[in-house]
Amino acid sequence: MKISDKITLKEAANITMGHEGLRLKVYIDTVGVPTVGYGHALHVGSVIPKEAADIIFLHDYNNAVKDLNDVLPIEHITGPVRLAALTDMMFNLGKTRFCGFKKMIKAVKNNDYKTAAKEAKNSKWYTQVKTRGERIVKMIETGLYTEE
C-alpha cells in the first residue's frame, strides 16, 4: 500500500466512480431523483453530452436493425431506402408495436410495397408522427429518398 498526499485526476475519479457504482438501469436515488450510470442524475431539463447521446442512439439503432431482421428478414426488403424506412419505423415503434402492422409486414414479404405503404399510412402511428410518417410511407412505396 502506497501512502501519499498526491493523487492524480484519474485516481480521484476512480474513487468517486467506486462510491457511485455503475448502474446501467435507471434507478431512483436516495433523494428520489432518477439516476443512471455512475450517479448521473436525470432531472427534467438536465443535459447529457452529445457524444453520450450518439453512443446511446447507435446502440438503440443497432437493436432496431436486429429487431427488424427478426420480424422481416432483410432479404425480404427490396433496396436500402425501404430498409432505412422500415428500420426507422422499428426504431420509433419498438418491436411489439411494429409487429402489430401485420398486413404491412405481409405485404413487404410479398414485395407489394404499394399495399405496405397503404397499411403504414392507415394507422394511428402515421397520424402521430406527422411529416415523419409521410416521408417513411413515401420511401416504402417508391423505394426512393428525397432530402427535404
Write down the residue that cell numbers 436525470 correspond to: 42
pLDDT digits (tens, 9 = 90+) for 46-92: 888 999 999 999 999 999 999 999 999 988 899 999 999 999 999 99
Question: Looking at the whole model, is its pTM more than 0.85?
Answer: no
> What is the spatial distance between Cα 116 and Cα 138, in angstroms, rounded to a whole number?
11
Mean pLDDT in the chain? Answer: 93
Domains and CATH numbers, the chain: 9-41 (no CATH), 50-142 (1.10.530.40)
What pairing do the DSSP bridges indicate for beta strands 23-28 and 40-41?
Answer: unpaired
Q: How many whole angstroms separate alpha carbon 15 and alpha carbon 19?
A: 6
